[in-house]
Amino acid sequence: MLYHFHIAEDGRFVEDDEGQEFLDQNQVRNEAIEACISIAKDAFTKGSARRVEIDVRSESISVLKVVISLTIEE
């Protein structure tokens, strides 16, 4: 099945027009988590975002959303 991983960083949206094929939901979940962690690490380190979301969709239906946010208290 084809899944699209749409990315939002502090309100900036990047649509996944190509998508990726996965055999099962567990693979989709793992890929979404790993992708969100990687994007969040880069964005948080650079200071370009404090919230990263990946909305995984299949046939325009949201099947999974991964959200990572950063709060710094000094």
Per-residue DSSP letters for 13-63?
Answer: EE--SS-EE-SSHHHHHHHHHHHHHHHHHHHHHHTS-SEEEEEEEETTEEE
Quick check: 52 and 46 in contact, CB under 8 A? no
User: For residue range 57-67, what is the model confidence (pLDDT) as tens digits?
Assistant: 999 899 999 99
Domain ranges of the chain: 2-69
Rounded Cα distance between 25 and 12, Å, is 26
- On the question of pLDDT at 31 being above 90, the answer is yes
pLDDT of amino acid 32:
98
Quick check: 5 and 20 in contact, CB under 8 A? yes
